[in-house]
Chain A
Amino acid sequence: MQGLTTHNLSCIRGERAVFAGLDLAVNPGRAILLSGANGSGKSSLLRVLAGLLPAAGGHIEWEGTDIAQDPDAHRARVAYIGHSDPLKPSMTATENLRFWAQLYGLDPSVEPALYQFSIEHLADVPARYFSAGQKRRLNLARLAAGQNSPSGPTLWLLDEPATGLDPGAVSMLANTILAHLSNEGTAIISTHGGRLDELLADHADHVTLQTSQSEFAR
């Protein structure tokens, strides 16, 4: 039944042990809300789980199978939202979103995804004219584009996704995540508390990474 589990997972950046001995488990239909002070390793953990960073130790399993056995399959199940918004300023909202949808083999009809984050009126506007919040909404619309496709990713790794969003947009994000969870999807979300945590509270477990656990590996 378990979706994603980590066993004794550790990560080293430079000479610093960002986290060590981490055991996590998240079932389909559930989310983990990761909290912790700056530098506690939330972003590093999400990057390790996505396969963007190698783990220094331990291993990650998906439905009981080590993801290292088939990294391509793992990448195919991951939707990753990082700190930056991967948008090209000269491309319109539709072009930006459609590019990612096509690259990931998703439904290229991205209008419903734009609508889901209330930016359909910006569909033909180049991203250079977007506010920070609108750029964030467009980035998050990638999740909706995946959700609207049968082959969409099942494991969402979201690094402080609510940053820069107004309360209305946070609700849209929460609704999108809840819809994903109701389809037996899984999400691991780093947050600093706030409204998103409240809206997801009934469907999520909290994990706090402690900065004090970090140590120098020297």
Chain B
Amino acid sequence: MIGLGLLIRRELGLALRGGTDAVMAVVFFVLAAVLFPFGVGTDPAMLPRIGGGIIWVVALLAAMLSLERMFASDHEDGSLDLLYLSPVGLGTLALAKAVAHWLTTGVLLLIAAPILALLYNVPANAFGALVASMLLGTPILSLVGGIGAALTLGARRGGVLLALLILPLYIPVLIFGAGAIDGAIAGRPIAPQLMVLGGFLLAALALAPWATAAALRQAIE
């Protein structure tokens, strides 16, 4: 646990000092979401219907923006070798990176999402579902994204490859995240969607660091 805390603190410190990735992700999130109504129209009856889905699609694309750099700097400067040799191990490193990615990106998306929901005229009774689904869903994006970041480490055109690998894995999160918001707007119970997202999160917490560590091991060799 000491190693996990130390790694998270280091990642947050690096993100705060030099990283523009998190800010870029949120700016992209807001800009992309604002662009949609220019293309699909501003019908006040339609916007709330599509708002939840658009916010979720844009959120997972925004979360992907900074994934490529998750391990790249440590790989380039040799830190990854030392992290592997350290007592904390690669699984802890993978978890720490995902937590730091969520804290610097997912939380910002979580804060920005209700503001975008206002722009889409999403009813107030769906805001709870939006926040709850993003609270459960965005950590999954970071955890699963870490696997892709590790698998594409050192690859040419790693960003494109990362998108091809990870986007299909994000589809269940998108379905149940947007489904929770739609359900709340329609007055249906949202507990099933949130419980499924919670299950995905627990599965990702258990499996993703392990899979990421295995991919990092390959990158080191």
- Which A residues contact B (CB, under 8 angstroms)? 50-54, 72, 75-76, 78, 80, 82-91, 95, 99-100, 102-105
Q: Which residue of B lies closest to A53 (CB)?
A: B221
Interface size (B, Cβ < 8 Å)? 25
Docked Cα-Cα span, A107 to B172, in Å, equals 46
Residues of B near A78 (CB, < 8 A) are 85
Residues of A near B3 (CB, < 8 A) are 103
Query: Chain B, 56-90, contact with A by CB distance < 8 Å: what is the 0/1 string?
Result: 00000000000000000110111101111111100
Q: Which of A80, A84, A102 contacts B85 (CB 8 A)?
A: A80
Q: Which residue of A lies closest to B73 (CB)?
A: A88
Q: Which of B10, B73, B84, B88 contacts A52 (CB 8 A)?
A: B84
User: A72-B87, A103-B86 are known contacts; what are 14 more A-B pairs with Cβ within 8 Å?
Assistant: A75-B85, A76-B87, A82-B78, A82-B81, A85-B78, A88-B14, A88-B77, A89-B18, A91-B17, A95-B13, A103-B82, A103-B88, A104-B86, A104-B87
B220 at the A interface (CB under 8 A) = yes
- 15 CB-based A-B contacts, threshold 8 Å: A51-B85, A52-B84, A52-B85, A53-B221, A54-B221, A78-B85, A80-B85, A82-B81, A84-B76, A86-B74, A95-B13, A103-B82, A103-B86, A104-B86, A104-B87
- The 7 A-B residue pairs with the shortest CB-CB distance, nearest first, are A84-B78, A86-B79, A90-B17, A90-B18, A86-B78, A82-B78, A103-B86
- Shortest CB-to-CB span from A58 to chain B, Å, is 17
- Shortest CB-to-CB span from B67 to chain A, Å, is 19
Q: Which of A51, A54, A86 contacts B82 (CB 8 A)?
A: A86
Are A91 and B13 in contact, with the CB atoms below 8 A? yes
Known: A52-B221, A91-B14. A100 touches B77 (CB 8 A): no
Docked Cα-Cα span, A99 to B77, in Å, equals 15
Are A105 and B14 in contact, with the CB atoms below 8 A? no
Known: A52-B84, A52-B85, A52-B220. A87 touches B18 (CB 8 A): no
Q: Which of A86, A90, A95, A104 contacts B81 (CB 8 A)?
A: A86
B1 at the A interface (CB under 8 A) = no
Docked Cα-Cα span, A83 to B78, in Å, equals 8
Q: Which residue of B lies closest to A54 (CB)?
A: B221
Residues of A near B35 (CB, < 8 A) are none
Residues of A near B2 (CB, < 8 A) are 102
Docked Cα-Cα span, A58 to B84, in Å, equals 23
Query: Chain B, 1-38, contact with A by CB distance < 8 Å: what is the 0/1 string?
Result: 01100110010011001100000000000000000000
Are A105 and B87 in contact, with the CB atoms below 8 A? yes
Residues of B near A89 (CB, < 8 A) are 18
Docked Cα-Cα span, A183 to B81, in Å, equals 26
Q: Which of B6, B7, B82 contacts A80 (CB 8 A)?
A: B82
Q: Which residue of A lies closest to B13 (CB)?
A: A91
- Shortest CB-to-CB span from B153 to chain A, Å, is 15
Residues of B near A83 (CB, < 8 A) are 78
- Shortest CB-to-CB span from A45 to chain B, Å, is 15
- Shortest CB-to-CB span from B82 to chain A, Å, is 5
Are A80 and B86 in contact, with the CB atoms below 8 A? no
Are A99 and B85 in contact, with the CB atoms below 8 A? no
- Shortest CB-to-CB span from B216 to chain A, Å, is 12
Residues of B near A102 (CB, < 8 A) are 2, 6
Residues of A near B86 (CB, < 8 A) are 75, 103-104
- In the complex, which of the residues B13, B81, B82 has the most CB atoms of chain A within 10 Å of its own CB atom? B82
Q: Which of B6, B78, B220 contacts A99 (CB 8 A)?
A: B6
Docked Cα-Cα span, A75 to B85, in Å, equals 5
Known: A85-B77, A86-B78. A50 touches B14 (CB 8 A): no
- Shortest CB-to-CB span from B5 to chain A, Å, is 10
Docked Cα-Cα span, A87 to B77, in Å, equals 7
- Shortest CB-to-CB span from B65 to chain A, Å, is 20
Residues of A near B88 (CB, < 8 A) are 103
Docked Cα-Cα span, A105 to B85, in Å, equals 12
Docked Cα-Cα span, A72 to B78, in Å, equals 20
Q: Which residue of A lies closest to B79 (CB)?
A: A86
Docked Cα-Cα span, A53 to B88, in Å, equals 19
- Shortest CB-to-CB span from A98 to chain B, Å, is 10
